[in-house]
Amino acid sequence: MSRSGAPLVAIQGERGAFSELAVRSLFGRRARILPCAEFDALFRAAETGRCRYALAPVENTIAGSIHRVNDLLLESTLKVAGEAVIRVSHALVALPGVRLRDVRRVYSHPVALAQCERFFRRNPRLTRVATYDTAGSVRLLREEEARDAAAIAPELAARLYGARILKKGLEDHRANFTRFFALSRDGVALGPADKTSVLFSTRHVPGALFRCMGVFALRDINLLKIESRPIRGRPWEYVFHVDFEGSPKEDRCRNALRHLEEVCDFVRVLGSYPRARTPGA
Amino acid sequence: MSRSGAPLVAIQGERGAFSELAVRSLFGRRARILPCAEFDALFRAAETGRCRYALAPVENTIAGSIHRVNDLLLESTLKVAGEAVIRVSHALVALPGVRLRDVRRVYSHPVALAQCERFFRRNPRLTRVATYDTAGSVRLLREEEARDAAAIAPELAARLYGARILKKGLEDHRANFTRFFALSRDGVALGPADKTSVLFSTRHVPGALFRCMGVFALRDINLLKIESRPIRGRPWEYVFHVDFEGSPKEDRCRNALRHLEEVCDFVRVLGSYPRARTPGA
């Protein structure tokens, strides 16, 4: 276990964002947090050794993959040490004394704005202002002393910045979860590893993906996820992201990874780590 | 060919959006356009027969899949009659007389805002305001007679709404293409069909996807794309979107689709249509 001490963990966005909930679930209350404005800076913080871990959101059950993070996973040498799954619930937050009918502008991250479509359809007078972060939007209200604006953010952010919750559960869908990777330079798993993530791209021949799937199927290895992502700058070429049960400590998994290299152009093992449970599932 | 007459084609967003370029490439100059504010309305316009076709963006080579459209493809009974691929180039557009240094706010669709990150990093004083459409943002400038705002939109939109182009090529990546489906109730292909799109979900058993891939590989059918998408409301369950070469007019493709139904929980053939060329490729 790497949970000893109080590791410094980088997150994208301000304190009080959903990433902070993920940090708490993996590293507990004592972990210290380094906020980063952008995903590039988040990865750099762990790559340069400035912090021990970078906490990166990889997919959301409503919005799908977080593209920029997946691009960075491909480019970076960081490895996955753990994963966390957080339930996403959006609150409408404003400064004390501001009422719902005063609000004209709503700040939040574009993904959060998109997840509250029903709310905006019911309130067409509201202007949606895209910002870099959910919790950072609450801080922005403070800085501007905004009396005609609100933010969409986790409830935790309202508490942290002394704001008030005007409305809870703004999200269109309740089955809204975000999955995070804890990334580190050494990739030492945060507990007994029973799940592995790998990226690969296939050769451009018929049946290429069939052969890749065979690597796992012929060894009775259970796939937990497969996703294809366009490769930036190479239109209509894709990299596959596969999660499977097991870790290279088992012979069949080690053999499968060796076999995968035989049939692929490119293979990168992101890491092996303890599988996270979905809250309430 | 269904290109006879001047079909009414629904698009999401205002006239002058990238969707209009896709309409022109598939149906020519004579097609009439019905702008719809949201994707739901776009699908409804074709489902109810109000218009002959709905033009829906399905994926972008930088941003990835357009999630809401993919969800609607799964729910709707509309079929794919054709596809178009459009090169996406973003311009900064403002009313005549407005200079770059006057601009404080920039309106656009969240995806367009996200594709111009480098521009916003270089111009940190600009506030990004998310709207429902690129071209609609230019119309908004007109309605507000905005002297301190600009919009990110296609150059075509500047011409249509009598605005000026302050800057061209704002997009971070030049290999930026969007793929559109032309959807109709009957799904009659807009020309000789040589490509087929299908959605399916697998049973939750090891090797399920391997068997699905085998359906195509064992018949030497070339896959052009495979993508998994989370199913809303069923966390960590995925539906697969596969495009393959050929159409059910060929025995092997018809047999493959029948075989796919044997090994899947759910199969929906979206349609067979003429494959589009990527501009400049």
CA–CA distance, B179 with B158 (Å, rounded to integer): 22
CA–CA distance, A145 with B8 (Å, rounded to integer): 49
Q: Does A236 touch chain B (CB under 8 A)?
A: yes
Q: Are B77 and B49 in contact (CB under 8 A)?
A: no
Would the CB atoms of B236 and A127 count as touching at under 8 Å?
no
Contacts (Cβ under 8 Å, ≥6 apart) of B133? B12, B13, B14, B17, B37, B109
| Per-residue pLDDT at B2 exceeds 60 | no
Positive or negative: CA dihedral A242, A244, A247, A251: negative
pLDDT score at A2: 44
B4 confidence band (pLDDT: 50, 70, 90): low
Q: Does B130 touch chain A (CB under 8 A)?
A: yes
Q: Does A8 touch chain B (CB under 8 A)?
A: no
pLDDT score at B281: 58
- Each residue of B199-255: pLDDT tens digit? 999 877 778 889 999 999 999 999 888 888 877 777 777 889 999 999 999 999 999
In one-letter notation, the amino acid at residue A237 is E
pTM: 0.83
User: Which residues in chain B are classed under CATH 3.40.190.10?
Assistant: 8-88+176-184, 91-167
Q: Are B250 and B244 in contact (CB under 8 A)?
A: no
DSSP bridge partners of B36: B12, B13
* Beta pairing class for B127-130 and B177-184: unpaired
Q: Are B176 and B60 in contact (CB under 8 A)?
A: yes
pLDDT score at B256: 97
In one-letter notation, the amino acid at residue B161 is Y
| Per-residue pLDDT at A151 exceeds 90 | yes
Would the CB atoms of B220 and A210 count as touching at under 8 Å?
no
- In this prediction, residues B134-152 reach a mean pLDDT of 94
Residue A276, CA distances (Å) to A48, A60, A73, B143, B199 in order: 27, 14, 19, 50, 28
A3 confidence band (pLDDT: 50, 70, 90): very low
User: Which residues in chain B are classed under CATH 3.30.70.260?
Assistant: 195-273
Within 13 Å and on the Cβ side, how many CA atoms surround B180? 29
Write down the CATH superfamily of domain A8-87+176-184.
Periplasmic binding protein-like II (3.40.190.10)
| Per-residue pLDDT at A158 exceeds 50 | yes
Residue whose pair of structure tokens reads 């990777």 in the numeric block: A181
CB within 8 Å of chain B, chain A residues 156-195: 173, 175, 177
With beta carbons under 8 A apart, name residues in chain A contacting B236. 61, 224-225, 278
In one-letter notation, the amino acid at residue A169 is G
With beta carbons under 8 A apart, name residues in chain A contacting B277. none
Instruction: Show the DSSP H helices in chain A as ranges.
Output: 18-27, 39-47, 67-75, 110-114, 117-122, 134-144, 155-160, 208-217, 251-263
Q: Which of B104, B172, B228 to mutate to test the interface with A (most CBs of A within 10 A)?
A: B228
The overall average pLDDT reported for chain A is 91
Would the CB atoms of A222 and B210 count as touching at under 8 Å?
no
DSSP bridge partners of B35: B11
Write down the CATH superfamily of domain B91-167.
Periplasmic binding protein-like II (3.40.190.10)
pLDDT score at B159: 92
Percent above pLDDT 70 for chain A: 98
CA–CA distance, A250 with B41 (Å, rounded to integer): 52
**Lookup: tokens for B220:** 């030497």
| Per-residue pLDDT at A92 exceeds 60 | yes
CA–CA distance, A56 with A59 (Å, rounded to integer): 9
Catalytic residue check, A178: yes
What's the CA dihedral at B242, B248, B254, B258 to 10 degrees? 50
Q: Does B128 touch chain A (CB under 8 A)?
A: yes
Residue A193, CA distances (Å) to A81, A152, A249, A276 in order: 9, 36, 9, 11
Residue from B131, B178, B196, B202 carrying the catalytic annotation:
B178
Catalytic residue check, B134: no
CB within 8 Å of chain B, chain A residues 17-56: none
| Low-confidence winner among A51-55, B53-57, B161-165, B233-237 (lowest mean pLDDT) | B233-237
Mind giving me the DSSP string for A6-34? --EEEEEB-TTSHHHHHHHHHH-TT-EEE
User: Which residues in chain A are classed under CATH 3.40.190.10?
Assistant: 8-87+176-184, 91-167
Q: For domain B195-273, give its CATH number from 3.30.420.480, 3.30.70.260, 3.40.50.1100, 3.30.360.10.
A: 3.30.70.260
B114 confidence band (pLDDT: 50, 70, 90): confident
ipTM higher than the 0.95 cut: no
Ordered strands of the A149-153 beta sheet: A164-167, A91-94, A149-153, A105-108, A127-130, B127-130, B105-108, B149-153, B91-94, B164-167
The alpha-carbon gap from B278 to the nearest alpha carbon of chain A, in Å, equals: 9
| Per-residue pLDDT at B125 exceeds 70 | yes
Geometric angle at alpha carbon B227, from A199 and A80, rounded to 5°: 25
- In this prediction, residues B256-272 reach a mean pLDDT of 96
Q: Which residue of B has its CA nearest to A235?
A: B61
- In this prediction, residues B8-28 reach a mean pLDDT of 94
- In this prediction, residues B77-90 reach a mean pLDDT of 96
With beta carbons under 8 A apart, name residues in chain A contacting B219. none
- In this prediction, residues A46-74 reach a mean pLDDT of 91
**Lookup: tokens for B119:** 């521009």
Would the CB atoms of A61 and B173 count as touching at under 8 Å?
no
CATH classification code of B8-88+176-184: 3.40.190.10
| Per-residue pLDDT at B1 exceeds 90 | no
B47 confidence band (pLDDT: 50, 70, 90): very high
